[in-house]
């Protein structure tokens, strides 16, 4: 039997080039090798305020983009998290097996709650819901960018703790699958930070539904440095290293090869070429996206994914409920 792979991308905005490199492109590369579960974590996206109409629209947009990026719906289970009640139910049980201290150490929580007077309890506990998403299906591998590595480690810790406490192999211990190149695509305006779809500055992120002109403008305006030499050095030259990384992922070549190709070139040349490959990739995704959105395939795919995963999740949930001593 194939091993199970699971990941999801929040409908908290339009997917970015970062989401492509750390998320979907990995699923695309592994979908033949694994039994693949790719869901829409809509419950996660309400950890911060969302406009209901906009959120509703984004859910199908994300599915359309999954398919446009080459995810094969015949081979992949694609489903919406909130349509399967077991995710939130198991999450509660896991919440009672996770510690306040360990959640307080989560970088994403610190980052998203920084300088905010008010943030939701959901923002604090969502890594447990993520553990539930993974553990419900005995997923062995979880492709993610570097930002989510710590959350997969939390899922591992909760699973191990649960198995020890109830003396059984109730949960499979998942592994994060982090790409060698592209695990942290950086914010174009502030390359210390990662690119995010929920950014407040649209110049910071390349969105998969951006127009050609906007993509070129954002890349040409990306923050670099005054050193004028093309080198891969993420610590001292994060902006230039980010451009090299994007080129390398989209061309499917190594960083070394990319650096060789640009030896002696100026930043303007590098940016122009990065813009060209990005536009080529994104325009081809958009062409497929519009085709998919004007067909009626999405609802059937989501119905099928929901029915398949609800059955699996209900079996797992029953086992866990009994182990804990709940119910009759």
Reference 21, options 325, 190, 324, 274; nearest CA is 274
Of 92-131, which residues contact ligand ATP (CB under 6 A)?
none
How far apart are the C-alpha atoms of 256 and 262, rounded to whole Å?
A: 10
The correct pick among 4, 87, 156, 197 for binding ligand ATP (CB under 6 A) is 197
Of 16-45, which residues contact ligand ATP (CB under 6 A)?
16, 18-19, 21-23
Distance between alpha carbon 15 and the CA centroid of its chain, in Å? 9
Minimum distance of ligand ATP from residue 5's CB (angstroms): 12
Minimum distance of ligand ATP from residue 19's CB (angstroms): 4
Q: What are phi and psi of 79, to 5 degrees?
A: -155, 160
Q: Is 258 in the site for ligand ATP (CB under 6 A)?
A: no
Residue 180, exposed/middle/buried by CB under 10 A (0-12, 13-18, 19+)?
exposed
Minimum distance of ligand ATP from residue 65's CB (angstroms): 12
The correct pick among 35, 83, 147, 153 for binding ligand ATP (CB under 6 A) is 147
Q: Is 198 in the site for ligand ATP (CB under 6 A)?
A: yes
Report residue 123 as tokens.
Answer: 């923002």
Residue 55, exposed/middle/buried by CB under 10 A (0-12, 13-18, 19+)?
middle
Active site residues: 112, 194, 197
With beta carbons less than 8 A apart as the criterion, state whether 259 and 242 touch: no
Contacts with ligand ATP: how many residues (CB under 6 A)? Answer: 23
Minimum distance of ligand ATP from residue 245's CB (angstroms): 9
Q: What Rg value do the Cα atoms of the chain yield, rounded? A: 20
With beta carbons less than 8 A apart as the criterion, state whether 197 and 24 touch: no
- Residue number, nearest CB to ligand ATP: 22
Residue 76 or 196 with smaller CB distance to ligand ATP: 196
Of 177-196, which residues contact ligand ATP (CB under 6 A)?
183-185, 194-196
Report the interface residues with ligand ATP, using CB under 6 A.
7, 9-10, 12-13, 16, 18-19, 21-23, 144-145, 147-148, 183-185, 194-198
């Amino acid at each position: 039997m194939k091993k199970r792979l699971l990941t999801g991308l929040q409908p908290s905005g339009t997917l970015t080039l970062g989401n492509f490199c750390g998320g979907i492109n990995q699923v695309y590369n592994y979908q033949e090798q694994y039994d693949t579960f790719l869901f829409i974590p809509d419950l996660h996206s309400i950890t911060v305020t969302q406009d209901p109409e906009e959120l509703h629209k984004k859910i199908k947009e994300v599915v359309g983009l999954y398919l446009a990026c080459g995810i094969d719906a015949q081979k992949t289970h694609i489903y919406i998290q909130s349509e399967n009640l077991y995710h939130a139910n198991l999450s509660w049980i896991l919440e009672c097996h996770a510690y306040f201290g360990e959640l307080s150490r989560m970088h994403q929580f610190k980052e998203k709650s920084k300088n905010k007077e008010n943030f939701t309890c959901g923002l604090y506990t969502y890594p447990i819901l993520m553990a539930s998403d993974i553990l419900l299906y005995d997923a062995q591998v979880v492709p993610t960018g570097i930002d989510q590595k710590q959350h997969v480690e939390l899922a591992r810790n909760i699973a191990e703790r649960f198995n020890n406490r109830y003396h059984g192999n109730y949960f499979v211990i998942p592994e994060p699958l982090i790409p060698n190149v592209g695990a942290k695509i950086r914010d174009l305006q502030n390359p210390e930070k990662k690119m995010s779809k929920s950014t407040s500055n649209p110049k910071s992120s390349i969105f998969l539904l951006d127009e050609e002109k906007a993509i070129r403008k954002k890349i040409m305006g990306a923050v670099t440095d005054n050193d004028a030499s093309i080198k891969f050095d993420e610590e001292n030259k994060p902006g230039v290293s980010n451009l090299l990384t994007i080129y390398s992922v989209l061309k499917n070549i190594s960083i070394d090869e990319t650096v060789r190709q640009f030896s002696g070139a100026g930043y303007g040349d590098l940016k122009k070429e990065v813009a060209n490959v990005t536009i080529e990739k994104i325009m081809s995704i958009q062409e497929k996206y519009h085709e998919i959105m004007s067909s009626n395939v999405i609802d059937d795919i989501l119905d099928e994914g929901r029915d398949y995963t609800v059955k699996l999740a209900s079996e797992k949930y029953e086992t866990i409920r009994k182990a804990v001593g709940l119910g009759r």
